[in-house]
Structure 1
């Protein structure tokens, strides 16, 4: 602490007014040094003020010359007022003075320690806020950029009545929101494709590739049809020895949505299947399935419930529906019942009734092609 300058003999001693409320002594010399740095807190950490100061503003306590105190000043310490001149007054905020008193240190050093503690706390708070903000940005970026891409895609099919000879012609255009979003409401007319490749089905011949897709609304809900399970059933049906591969003229293989394919097997709702089939000139009345060039469209209601009085388990009707519509894609037309009590050909329109025949799901029986008379 700086020593008080010697007072000239001509000057009257400063007035000392005792006060039991707030010990307050202003050091003019210290105030003059602090006032040279605008906005600083001087050596004591208190803001430099110029007169006139508010009457309630606390001042820095300074012991009389020659007196040192290891602890806080007594409550009855006198309050010394400097001569009225233009020199600045160094004020100590009440909070810092109280902090110094509690710490047991001298009042001359208390504000400096309190200011340093405040500065350290603020610096720690700023650093902690910066670290938390950085972690938040990194975590957010990782979540946004690290999210996995869905293994299936959603498209809106556009049926065409024109024949298709290229794989691209059988591929529905991808919608603007292709990837299925978890938790999003299912959209009618949009399909989820089975991912990956299935096994090669058959014994010999060229591989003819196909895709499998399920409409979002058909797959939704606890009783929804899972696209993977539907694809497995299609593979099992077309890979059966009684199915079309028994001809040994070709083999079949399911591929993913992005791969080149000859046709797609769709499982669609009654409304969507009616719309898709109608685009090719076929009226299913929302009841039956259909086939358009490059598109095998299975009515989801028939897939779930078959038809009344079919006389066979649901699994038989499902195999019939797949083999019948894929048979159209392979070039086969409708066939008639060969007679009452006989086995119905797979290309017979069994959905409309068996006409005395027995339900049958397979084009080959006992290794031989089983067919009836061709009908329009």
Structure 2
């Protein structure tokens, strides 16, 4: 009887200890959670930000920065359009070429307000046409510069702005896109932009490109057709449209090389 009472009392004491321990554990857990929350609060500098605000912050951070403006190319030092009126060089007594071949008489004209020197342009034309690598080397043609009002004119060499060239050539059904020159019956129309800058990556001095421009157009006037690059690494024929690319050939502005007519495969 006494033993049973002692046993029941022992059980009650153990139960009280368990309840006290559980209560203490709960207090400790709650305190730990509160401390953790407080630490997070301090670390974040305030209450947690709502999810929507976080997304907005990310969107602002991810927004691309404004593009840095790219400086535009400087304007050319020469005009690209003009009044489509021309000044003409005077006559020259010099006959370019040797022998008794027929003399082709030509005029030299420069668009007004082009910023170029007419006498200097006429001198360049004479120098190219008289060069021993030029068309006179074949002995079948000679050239002479005549005045604007000359009674006999075979063709006129005009240097004009790219916009004017486009208009003049369009009359003959040729669309230059303001990039190329053209030849019309009785007219060699040279693009001022090409004359002063050649084409990108031509790979030769400007004088060589000018020789090509003039000799190609005069060659057309003399009846020569278009030719192709004969082989990669070879000089381009002067009657190749080098303004549209060398197609593997090297730059060349002359119809005669080493005293012989230099040509490539004929094109339609």
Q: 1:263 to 1:364 in 2, by over 3 A?
A: same
1:115-134 alignment runs, 5 A limit? none
Partner of 2:127: 236
CA drift of 1:187 comes to: 6.0
- Aligned-partner Cα distance in 2 for 1:299–1:187: 12
TM-score, normalisation: structure 2? 0.68
- Aligned-partner Cα distance in 1 for 2:93–2:223: 23
Instruction: Select which of 231, 252, 260 maps to 1:360.
Output: 252
CA drift of 1:217 comes to: 2.4
1:196 aligns with 2:91: yes
Tell me the secondary structure at the aligned position of residue 96 of structure 2.
coil
Tell me the secondary structure at the aligned position of residue 190 of structure 2.
strand
CA drift of 1:198 comes to: 4.9
Residue-by-residue CA offset, 1:264-318 (whole Å, 9 max, x unaligned): 0000110100000000000110000000000000000001110100000001000
Q: 1:187 to 1:272 in 2, by over 3 A?
A: closer
8 Å CA contact 1:212–1:231 kept in 2: the answer is: yes
Partner of 1:272: 164
Pairwise CA RMSD of aligned residues? 1.2
Partner of 2:29: none
1:201-350 alignment runs, 5 A limit? 201-204=96-99, 205-218=101-114, 224-259=115-150, 260-350=152-242
- Aligned-partner Cα distance in 1 for 2:89–2:204: 28
8 Å CA contact 1:217–1:269 kept in 2: the answer is: no
Tell me the secondary structure at the aligned position of residue 217 of structure 1.
coil
- Aligned-partner Cα distance in 1 for 2:247–2:102: 37
Tell me the secondary structure at the aligned position of residue 196 of structure 2.
helix
Q: Bigger relative contact order, structure 1 or 2, given CA contacts below 8 A and separation 6+?
A: 2
Q: 1:227 to 1:346 in 2, by over 3 A?
A: same
Residue-by-residue CA offset, 1:219-275 (whole Å, 9 max, x unaligned): xxxxx2111100000000000011000111121111111112100000011010000
- Aligned-partner Cα distance in 1 for 2:206–2:142: 26
Mark the runs of 5 or more structure 1 residues left unpaired by the alignment. Answer: 1-185, 219-223
Mark the runs of 5 or more structure 2 residues left unpaired by the alignment. Answer: 1-80
Residue-by-residue CA offset, 1:34-70 (whole Å, 9 max, x unaligned): xxxxxxxxxxxxxxxxxxxxxxxxxxxxxxxxxxxxx
Q: How many residues align?
A: 186
Q: 1:245 to 1:288 in 2, by over 3 A?
A: same
Partner of 1:132: none
1:12-91 alignment runs, 5 A limit? none
TM-score, normalisation: structure 1? 0.49
CA drift of 1:344 comes to: 0.4
CA drift of 1:196 comes to: 2.5
Larger Rg: 1
CA drift of 1:359 comes to: 0.2
